[in-house]
Amino acid sequence: MLNKAILIVLDSAGVGHAPDAAAYGDEGANTIGHIAENTHLDLPNMRAIGLGHIPGANLPADKNAAGAFGRLTEASSGKDTTTGHWEIAGIKLESAFPTYPDGFPKEVMDAFEQAIGRGTLGNKPASGTAILQELGEEHIKTGKVIVYTSADSVFQIAAHEEIVPVEELYDMCRKARAILQGKHAVGRVIARPFVGTCAADFKRTGNRHDFSLEPIAPTMLDALSKAGFDSLAVGKIEDIFCMRGITDSVHSAGNPACLDSLMQYMQKDFKGLCFVNLVDFDMTFGHRRDVEGYAQCLRDFDAFLPRIQQAMGENDLLLITADHGCDPTYKGTDHTRERVPILAWHKGMKKAVDLGTRDSYADIAATICEGFGLEERFGANSFYSELELN
């Protein structure tokens, strides 16, 4: 039986378009593969556990790799953060969360403005940095908050921290979350606080906070915590799951802080899961189409990986995956419908194990539950037996 499972989501690090990508306008997208083609990308530590063997990664295969590798195909409809993480944890969505390519309807905006006692600006799909340059100064002058969305199912509220204090912005998000139910039940309402004096220097802060829907079905987090195991969350995991099934959490912001929080948990004698989201790949580089920045972010994680491995015990399992794609070489700035990598490693691994192309992200939840002796499989297929863990 497992002692610890460390599950790390490299947010948006896809490895090639999914079979149904054309339906999403994403045929040909490949986040890691295209970054590898366009930069001098070498990830020796992830290649050493099998990344180069995954079709689409476009990295040299390490002939001496010792680890399990494969790729996961999303069974749920959609390509957003909530959908991907929920499926990793065992929930498959039959229909995608609603999106708003023409902005939110009048009944939603009227109800929101009435609830917060302020007017709004924007109400359209936009890049988070571009809309601050466009509307940030008007927001400061008028006090109206900026509302925008994207190709994903999100209702984002941007406000300057000196005009709308962060706690007030969070309260606005809670009010929006209460309104956005039923047919308008977007996956996430996101607080986007920023600072700066003018359009030239506006900058979003680390006080971002996501207000997700509560999971619509039990997840591996519920199963683990109910069975008495630790269920630890790092980064925005607590937001995505509304703290349900989570026994302890650190809401760190940015990859370095999240990795530091992971290492602090690793030093503790916990028994169960530590679930980590590394958001910078997506938020800082994918959406901003920063190919070299994304490549460096991958290099930085790869360089950190041995520290995680060294901190692991004999009955600990490391799993590395992603939740969707966000190919910075592709058209637009939105998520891309892609397969995602799965890498698995423990200290006893002596050879490369090909997990193949799998039908659902939920295979991760099934594997973790089997590793802790739980019965839940979420209609998915565990690969625990293939890992040769006692």
In angstroms, the CA 158 to CA 156 distance is 7
Half-sphere exposure of 36 (CA within 13 A, CB side): 21
Helix (H) or strand (E) holding 321: strand 316-321
* Fold entry, domain 4-93+216-387: Alkaline Phosphatase, subunit A (3.40.720)
Which one-letter DSSP state was computed for residue 10?
E
Q: Where are the domains of the chain?
A: 4-93+216-387, 106-212
List, for residues 264-291, the tens digit of each pLDDT value. Answer: 999 998 999 999 999 999 989 998 899 9
pLDDT at position 390 over 70: no
Task: Give the chain's mean pLDDT.
Answer: 95
145-149 and 352-358 beta bridge pairing: unpaired
List, for residues 315-355, the tens digit of each pLDDT value. Answer: 999 999 999 999 999 987 789 999 999 999 999 999 999 99
Exposure class string for 336-370: b at 16+ Cβ within 10 A, else e? bbbbbbbbbbbeebeebbebeebebbbbbbbbbbb
Phi/psi at 203 (5° precision): -145, 130
Helix (H, G, I), strand (E, B) or coil at 291: helix
Check residue 95 and give its pLDDT.
86
List, for residues 117-147, the tens digit of each pLDDT value. Answer: 999 999 999 988 899 999 999 999 999 999 9
CB neighbours of 353 closer than 8 A, spacing ≥ 6? 50, 67, 68, 69, 344, 386, 387, 388
Rg of the chain over all Cα atoms, to the nearest angstrom: 20
The answer to whether the pTM exceeds 0.75 is: yes
Domain 106-212 - what CATH class?
A: alpha beta
